[in-house]
């Protein structure tokens, strides 16, 4: 079920629970600003999720409310994860779904990193 990106942040969401260690994950990176782990249902050869440590429902919430330092830290973390995975030269794709039309299912901002193969069309054909 898609989430409502205008709802207040609720720290019972699954990614907050993963960061608290209440649910296991395959962690690939962590720093002051971000936590990254493998998607449980990968859609490409590489499918890694990067989430900010701060409490933000969506990209909309993050871009509106997060302090500049936190935005910079998170964006740099996404780049660091992609570099660590060796994705820069072959290339990769970032995706942040927002709300119903985006198909967002978890109400904590997450950026998908896809790679490890040619990724095809940018969005599904209708």
For the annotated catalytic residues, the residue numbers are: 110
Which residue, 89 or 101, is less far from ligand 5GP as judged by CB? 101
- Shortest Cβ distance from residue 107 to ligand 5GP (Å)? 8
Cα→Cα distances 97→32, 49, 86, 123, Å: 23, 12, 24, 12
Closer residue to ligand 5GP in complex, CB, 87/104: 104
Q: Which residues bind ligand 5GP (CB under 6 A)?
A: 14, 23, 25, 37-41, 97, 103-106
SS3 27: strand
Closest CA to 2 of 104, 109, 122: 104
Contacts of 28 (CB under 8 A, 6+ apart): 36, 37, 38, 48, 81, 84, 85
Q: What are phi and psi of 14, to 5 degrees?
A: -65, -30
Q: 33 or 37: whose CB is closer to ligand 5GP? A: 37
| Shortest Å distance, C-beta 55 to ligand 5GP | 16
Phi/psi of residue 25, nearest 5 degrees = -150, 165
Residue 54 or 104: the one with the smaller Cβ distance to ligand 5GP is: 104
């Amino acid at each position: 079920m898609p989430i409502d990106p205008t709802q207040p942040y609720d720290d019972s969401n699954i990614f907050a629970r993963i960061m608290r260690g209440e649910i296991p994950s395959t962690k690939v990176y962590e720093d002051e600003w971000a936590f990254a782990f493998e998607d449980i249902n990968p859609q490409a050869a590489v499918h890694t999720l990067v989430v900010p440590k701060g409490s933000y429902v969506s990209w909309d919430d993050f871009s509106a409310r997060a302090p500049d330092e936190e935005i910079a830290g998170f964006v740099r973390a996404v780049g660091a994860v992609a570099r660590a995975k060796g994705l820069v030269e072959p290339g990769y794709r970032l995706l942040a779904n927002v709300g119903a039309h985006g198909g967002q299912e978890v109400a904590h901002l997450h950026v998908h990193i896809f790679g490890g193969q040619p990724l095809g069309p940018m969005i599904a054909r209708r």
